[in-house]
Amino acid sequence: MSQLRAAAAAGGLRRSGGRAVPAARRSRKGASPRGGTQAPPPTPHVFSDPAEIGALRRNLLAWYDRCKRDLPWRTLAATETDADRRAYAVWVSEIMLQQTQVATVIDYYNRWMQKWPTLQALAQASLEEVNELWAGLGYYSRGKRLQEAAKKVVSELAGRMPRTAEDLQKLLPGVGRYTAGAIASISYGQATGVVDGNVIRVLCRLRCIGADSSSPAVIDQLWDMANALVDRSRPGDFNQALMELGATVCVPKAPLCRECPVKQHCRAQRRVEKELAFASQKLFGKPTPVPDVEDCGVGGCPLCPPAMEPWDSSLGVTNFPRKAAKKQPRVARTATCVLERRGCHGAPEYLIVQRPSSGLLAGLWEFPSLPLDQDLQEEKQREALADHLRAWTGWPVVAGGLRFVGEVVHIFSHIHQTYVVYSLPLDGDVTLDPALTPSRWVTEEEFHASAVSTAMKKVLKAREKQRGEESSPGKGSKRKRATKPQGANSTRPGTQLSLRAFLRPPTSP
Ligand code: SF4
């Protein structure tokens, strides 16, 4: 299966090779989305010869049988005899693989299937449990939606998974066209194609499709092609083979064309070979005809590269696919405070709070945080955070009591997030009003077992690193210490400050 998966969200966005692209508006074959008649795509961009389609299927499947990776969801799909359990096993893998690498997913998948081997088991889990297991995998709404859909299958569909791609997409929340096609072809043997980021790349290269690969016209064409190519007797294997080819051979930057099992069907590769032959003949001074490296010959072809961006010989087959310029991620800054106290045997404990149940990182736990305006000065950041903590805890927290730890950058899919990290050591037991945001004290071990994001793990790591540097100031790096206590009660390195200490008036020298 592919490293990156098409999210294929129903009616929304589909992932393509690491970014979201609009789902194509579907139309009946031959009719444009707006109701007009659509001309068939120029021949060079389609597979029209049945003999060639047959040969491509055979070559690809033979390669897949020889070279496919051994993956836990493939084993389950091949050995599970119960159709509902088989479909569930494939479904979980497909959701986890969206935007996440195979190597990362394997461990999560195994733990998930061990904990919730059936839809019924998942339907009974709490969202907290789902978030805890999903912690670190990213795109947290995936786990939540998977569980919501499992509940729906159990409560509304009598525990029976829909049996066709159409019904899967129609009836299950979070299951889009790609996921539905993958489940139906792999679990039920339905002869339906799939289009994800890897398939987009392979098909665009096979047929020299150079128009924006996220455009509805191209996506529509690729779905038609995937449905036409899929092997009728082994659709699940064929789809996985196509994705596997994109993940391991026809990779984005340096495709292994010489090892490719379908190179004889690849027009991008043919174009490269023609150019090479032309260049070598020219080198030896032989009279040569102009190579046939023009576009498909149809003026204004909607599938050829745009006239402004013609074929670039230096890129070879990686001329395809082409994508519209990526939208820059939004830049955001957030002040975060690691509130800590000494627990059993002096080991640190941390206060974490739960995020709202909707929006980014819904329901996950984090250190108390506050979004900041972009241009806020450092001093104002502290004050804003102190105000926030004061309102939240009811304690007279002062800005000078917050110790600067450093900045932690985390890239979400659409946000370039910088956490400005502070710490505030506390003494004694602190109980927060339960009517406020849910909160709890956790040990380091409990923190890592909780439903916390990777970004928060980075924040804690920064704080622990600082503590390590404070306890052995002469050891290791010569880096300037990030901590610069600003309060009136600043103290020597390694000493825990108490909240009361911050609240004491400054002492005279
Ligand atoms: Fe991809 Fe190269 Fe194979 Fe063409 S020949 S499909 S570009 S790996």
- pLDDT tens for residues 196-218? 999 999 999 999 999 999 999 99
At residue 366, φ and ψ (nearest 5 deg) are -155, 170
Higher pLDDT, 294 or 472: 472
What pLDDT sits at residue 366?
95
Query: Is the shortest distance between the CB of 265 and ligand 1 below 6 Å?
Result: no
For ligand 1, mutation pick of 59, 60, 63, 205 (most atoms within 8 Å of CB) = 205
What span, in angstroms and rounded, lies between the C-alpha atoms of 156 and 153? Answer: 6
Q: In the prediction, which pLDDT does 9 show?
A: 30
pLDDT tens string 123-176 = 999 999 999 999 999 988 999 999 999 999 999 999 999 999 999 999 999 999
Q: Ligand 1: distance of its center to the CA of 242 in Å?
A: 11
Closest ligand 1 atom to 317 CA: 7
**pTM value?**
0.76
Q: Does the beta carbon of 204 lie inside 6 Å of ligand 1?
A: no
Q: Is the CB of 205 under 6 A from ligand 1?
A: yes
Contacts of 465 by beta carbon, 8 Å cutoff, 6+ apart: none
Confirm or reject: Cβ of 200 under 6 Å from ligand 1: no
pLDDT at 437: 79
pLDDT tens for each residue of 14-62: 333 332 333 333 333 333 434 445 667 777 899 999 999 999 999 999 9
| Residue predicted with more confidence, 506 or 125 | 125
Distances in Å between the Cα of 405 and the Cα atoms of 171, 484, 485 are 48, 9, 10
14 CA from centroid of ligand 1 (Å): 23
Angle, CA 203 vertex, CA 197 and CA 207 arms, to 5°: 150
Q: Is a pLDDT exceeding 90 seen at residue 364?
A: yes
Q: What is the pLDDT of residues 443-479, one digit of tens each?
A: 999 999 999 999 999 999 999 999 888 877 665 444 4
Q: What is the 457 CA–ligand 1 centroid distance (Å)? A: 40
Question: What percent of the chain has a predicted confidence (pLDDT) above 90?
Answer: 61
94 is catalytic: yes
**CA atoms in the 13 A half-sphere facing the CB of 390:** 14
Mean pLDDT value across residues 182-201? 98
pLDDT in tens, 417-429: 999 999 998 875 6
Q: Does residue 319 have its Cβ closer than 6 Å to ligand 1?
A: no
| Mean pLDDT to the nearest integer, 299-303 | 82
Pocket test for ligand 1, best of 208, 209, 245, 269 (most atoms within 8 A of CB): 269
Rank 247-256, 321-330, 422-431 by mean pLDDT and report only the highest.
Answer: 247-256
pLDDT mean across residues, the chain: 83
Kindly state the DSSP code that residue 352 receives in the 8-state scheme.
E
Cα–Cα distance measured from residue 49 to residue 143, given in angstroms and rounded to the nearest whole number: 43
- CA angle (71, 75, 79) in 5-degree steps: 175
Q: Does residue 317 have its Cβ closer than 6 Å to ligand 1?
A: yes
Q: What integer pLDDT is reported at residue 157 of this predicted model?
A: 97
Helix, strand, or coil (residue 404): strand
269 lines ligand 1 (CB under 6 A): yes
Residue 267, pLDDT above cutoff 90:
yes
Give me the pLDDT at residue 467, please: 87
Percent of the chain with pLDDT over 70: 82
Q: Quick check: CB of 251 below 6 Å from ligand 1?
A: no
Q: How high is the pLDDT of residue 29?
A: 35
> Residue 5: its pLDDT value, please?
40
Given a contact cutoff of 8 angstroms between Cβ atoms, the answer to whether 434 and 428 are in contact is: no
193 CA distance to ligand 1 middle (Å) = 19
What is the distance in A from the centroid of ligand 1 to the CA of 263?
Answer: 5
Of 52, 80, 94, 128, catalytic: 94
pLDDT at site 479? 43
Query: Is 422 in a helix, a strand, or coil?
Result: strand
Q: Please tell me the predicted confidence (pLDDT) of residue 323.
A: 84
The pLDDT value recorded for residue 3 is: 36
**Closest C-alpha among 101, 75, 98, 97 to residue 86:** 75
For residue 123, the model assigns a pLDDT of: 97
Ligand 1 atom 4 nearest Cα: 266
Query: Is the distance from the beta carbon of residue 250 to the nearest atom of ligand 1 less than 6 Å?
Result: yes
Other CB atoms within a 10 A radius of the CB of residue 425 amount to 19
| Ligand 1 centroid distance, CA of 247 (Å) | 12
The DSSP code sequence of 185-244 is: HHHH--------HHHHHHHHHHTT--SBTTSHHHHHHHHHHHHHHS-SS-HHHHHHHHHH
